[in-house]
């Protein structure tokens, strides 16, 4: 099993009341509430946490990025990935992921990732995402072209990594007269690609068609099982068996010396969910054209008061009961994780360990307990349940969907 650590890197040092009064903190909440001195402190604390993970033998550090919002301070995931490539020794640097539709130059992005892979000596896992709906608006990208740009940018990056230049690319959204970068990845044919997501059926199927592991982002147990069935059914059409090595799961998990402290800190996960601050207005999160009609309808009906949020969560007690949040002493958390692993059977498990205003000492304590007590027990459970990671099964980094079918954009560019 591949065990990795994650935090959203929240900018928690601002007035939660101001966010609640405004009603949303993504996109239109003024950056006048941002304090760069506090931001500097938090960035360096997060870096210290990541270095601890490496020293404690974690398998991976999961990184992501968001824009125009305090719930995530990483405006460019490749910056932290590059830092970690230099200051860590063994941990995989798992980017989940670069939002491809926001990139105006996928070739340059391919070069950045190649540099990270070389500096880390082949420790990069390069994930790709579509990016949040409000981030299309924040970066001036037409949401209606989100999936088209995602798929074309992906195809261009893969060709850049695997085909010697120079060559020409004339696509729908990207045109390059010369593609010939002198920074290419150390890993061959290219770094592993993992795809994270929450509710988009199209992305699940796309990941399976390409043989990329899919990482379910803090989904409920039953929803997670549905995702695996959907993935594995599509994988069978693509000519390979899915299973644990292609299944990843992110869970909000906090560990402390006492149950009381763990529950106190676990309540900070609700900070991310909007209890202590606003998030994005649903119409900003799902601008026209961004989601499929079915998904967009759910969000818009919530926005106008006709339904509950498609991502609505129960209170902390309810989430603990449903294993949406796991918190407690190491012994308590290990017992819950056994139940979770037996139910969902992932080969990749990401621990969202800290969020909100959890203190620096408490965050470090959580990481230490994960590394010294929880992870060794989870590895034994994974062996018992035969939950192998992609690195243990030596699975290929991708597959040729339906006997080598290429996208029209890639075929036209060759």
Cβ 162 vs Cβ 217: under 8 Å: no
Are residues 175 and 192 in contact, defined by beta-carbon separation less than 8 angstroms?
no
Nearest to 127 by CA among 25, 293, 295, 2: 2
Number of domains the chain is built from:
1
Mean pLDDT of the chain: 90
Q: Residue 406 has what pLDDT?
A: 41
The DSSP result for 323-358, as a single string, is: TSEEEESHHHHHHHHHHHHHHH--SEEEEE---TT-
Q: State the average pLDDT over residues 293-304.
A: 62
pLDDT of 9 > 70? The answer is: yes
**What is the mean predicted confidence (pLDDT) over 245-253?**
98
Q: What is the 3-state secondary structure (H, E, C) of the chain?
A: CEEEEECCCCCCCCCHHHHHHHCCCCCCCCHHHCCHHHHHHHHHHHHHHHHHHHHCCCCEEEECCCCCCCCCCCCCHHHHHHHHHHHCCCCEEEEEEEEHHHCCCHHHHHHHHHHHHHHCCCCEEEEEECCCHHHHHHCCCCHHHHHHHHHHHHHHHHHHHHCCCCEEEECCCCEEEEECCCCCCCCCCCCECCEEECCCHHHHHHHHHHCCCEEEECCCHHHHHHHHHHHHHHHHHHCCCCCHHHEEEEEEEEECCCHHHHHHHHCCHHHHHCCCCCCCCHHHHCCCCCCCHHHHHHHHHHHCCCCCCCCCCCCHHHHHHCCCEEEECHHHHHHHHHHHHHHHCCCEEEEECCCCCCCHHHHHHHHHHHHHHHHHHHHHHHHHHCCCCHHHHCCCCCCCCCCCCCCHHHHHHC
Helical pair 259-266 and 330-344, crossing angle rounded to 10 deg: 60
> Higher-confidence residue: 10 or 400?
10
CA 282 to CA 303: how far, in whole Å?
Answer: 6
Residue pLDDT, tens place only, 176-230:
999 999 999 999 999 999 999 987 899 999 999 999 999 999 999 999 999 999 9
- Mean per-residue pLDDT for 332-344? 98
209 contacts 142 by C-beta, under 8 angstroms: no
Q: What is the mean pLDDT of residues 70-88?
A: 95
pLDDT at 395: 83
Q: Which of the two residues, 12 and 174, has the higher pLDDT score?
A: 174
CATH code of 375's domain: 3.20.20.30
Report which of residues 313 and 180 the model is more confident about: 180
347-404 tens-digit pLDDT: 999 999 999 999 999 999 999 999 999 999 999 999 999 999 999 998 888 876 433 3
Predicted confidence (pLDDT) at residue 50 exceeds the cutoff of 70: yes
Task: Kindly state the percentage of the chain with pLDDT values over 70.
Answer: 90
pLDDT of residue 152: 98
What average pLDDT does this structure show over 66-75? 90
Q: Which two tokens stand for residue 42?
A: 């938090």
What's this model's pTM, rounded to 2 decimal places?
0.92
Q: Confidence band (pLDDT; 50, 70, 90) for 337?
A: very high
Token digits for 379? 């590895």
Residues β-bridged to residue 214: 195, 247
* 375-391: burial string, b at 16+ Cβ within 10 Å, e else: bebbeebbeeeebbbbb
pLDDT of residue 89: 98
Find all residues with CB under 8 Å of 175, minimum gap 6, and list them. 169
Task: Give the least confident one: 107-121, 236-250, 300-314.
Answer: 300-314
The whole domain housing 26 covers 2-413
pLDDT bin (cut points 50, 70, 90) of residue 3 is very high
Let me know: does 96 contact 30? Beta carbons within 8 Å.
Answer: no
Over residues 87-111, mean pLDDT: 97
């Amino acid at each position: 099993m591949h065990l990795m650590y994650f935090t959203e890197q929240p900018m928690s040092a601002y007035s939660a009341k101001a966010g609640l009064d405004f009603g949303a903190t993504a996109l239109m909440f003024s950056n006048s509430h941002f304090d760069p001195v506090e931001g500097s402190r938090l960035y360096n604390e997060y870096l210290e946490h990541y270095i601890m993970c490496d020293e404690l033998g974690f398998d991976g550090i999961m990184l992501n990025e968001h824009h125009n919002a305090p719930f995530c301070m990483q405006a460019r995931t490749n910056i932290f990935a590059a830092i970690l490539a230099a200051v860590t020794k063994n941990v995989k640097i798992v980017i989940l992921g670069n939002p491809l539709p926001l990139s105006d130059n996928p070739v340059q992005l391919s070069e950045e990732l190649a540099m990270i892979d070389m500096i880390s000596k082949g420790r990069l896992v390069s994930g790709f995402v579509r990016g949040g709906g409000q981030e299309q608006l924040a970066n001036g990208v037409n949401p209606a072209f989100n999936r088209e740009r995602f798929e074309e940018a992906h195809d261009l990056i893969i060709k850049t990594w695997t085909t010697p230049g120079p060559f020409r690319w004339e696509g729908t959204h990207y045109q390059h007269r010369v593609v010939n970068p002198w920074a290419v990845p150390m890993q061959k044919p290219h770094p592993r690609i993992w795809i994270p997501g929450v509710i988009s059926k199209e992305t699940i199927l796309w990941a399976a068609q390409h043989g990329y592991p899919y990482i379910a982002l803090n989904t409920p147990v039953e929803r997670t099982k549905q995702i695996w069935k959907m993935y594995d059914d599509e994988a069978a059409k693509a000519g390979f068996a899915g299973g644990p090595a292609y299944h990843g799961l992110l869970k909000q998990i906090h560990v402390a010396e006492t149950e009381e402290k763990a529950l106190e800190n676990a309540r900070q996960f609700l900070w991310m969910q909007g209890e202590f601050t606003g998030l994005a207005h649903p119409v900003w999160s799902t601008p026209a054209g961004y989601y499929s009609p079915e998904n967009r309808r759910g969000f818009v009906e919530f926005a106008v008061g006709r339904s509950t949020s498609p991502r609505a969560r129960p209170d902390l007690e309810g989430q603990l009961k449903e294993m949406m949040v796991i918190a407690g002493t190491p012994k308590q958390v290990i017992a819950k994780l056994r139940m979770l692993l037996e139910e969902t059977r992932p080969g990749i498990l990401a621990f969202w360990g800290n969020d909100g205003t959890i203190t620096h000492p408490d965050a470090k304590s959580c990481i230490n307990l994960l590394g010294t007590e929880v992870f060794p027990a989870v590895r034994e459970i994974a062996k018992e349940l035969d939950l192998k990671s992609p690195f243990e099964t030596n699975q290929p980094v991708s597959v040729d969907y339906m006997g080598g079918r290429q996208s029209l954009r890639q075929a036209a560019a060759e």
